[in-house]
Amino acid sequence: METAGERAARRFAEAVTSGDVGAAVAITHPEVEFHSVLGISGRAYLGHAGIRQYFEDVASAWGEWSVEVERIAEGTDGRVAIVMTMHATGKGSGAALAERTAHVWTLTDGLLAHNLPFRQPDEALRELGLG
């Protein structure tokens, strides 16, 4: 059975895949600090306005975008790792991308509040002592 943190991480991935900004905002803390693994803008996305901007940035750069969740696991400290493969097609170029990545999320008041992105998923799992 998934924990609340695991459910929140899964719902965020689903929101990104479906382009549902409202769902992403609903499960993130008002002072969320989100870092894109792909570094679309090269900066952190802050607060709910930042989450909205992230979705706009994704929509402007990618014609198609989806997240395939491989694993979600909660560490003993309550942080949650999500290992996924991001699939995208460049809006202008049509170039395809498939990149296996991960995030470690910290939750505040049951909401996703801060993430650490990892290009090597095993590093994210080690961060939580899950190896």
Q: pLDDT digits over 36-87, tens only?
A: 887 655 689 999 999 999 999 888 888 888 999 999 999 999 999 999 999 9
Q: How far apart are CA 69 and CA 66, in angstroms?
A: 10
In angstroms, rounded to a whole number, what is the distance separating the alpha carbons of residues 96 and 119? 18
The CATH number linked to 58 is 3.10.450.50
Domain that holds residue 19: 4-127
pLDDT at 101: 94
Q: Determine the pLDDT at residue 63.
A: 87
Look at residue 61 in the predicted model and tell me its pLDDT: 86
Condensed to tens digits (0 to 9), the pLDDT of residues 80-116 reads 999 999 999 988 899 999 999 999 999 999 999 999 9
Q: Residue 56: what pLDDT?
A: 93
How many structural domains are present in the chain? 1
Distances (CA, A) of 8 to 26, 27, 36, 112: 10, 6, 17, 7
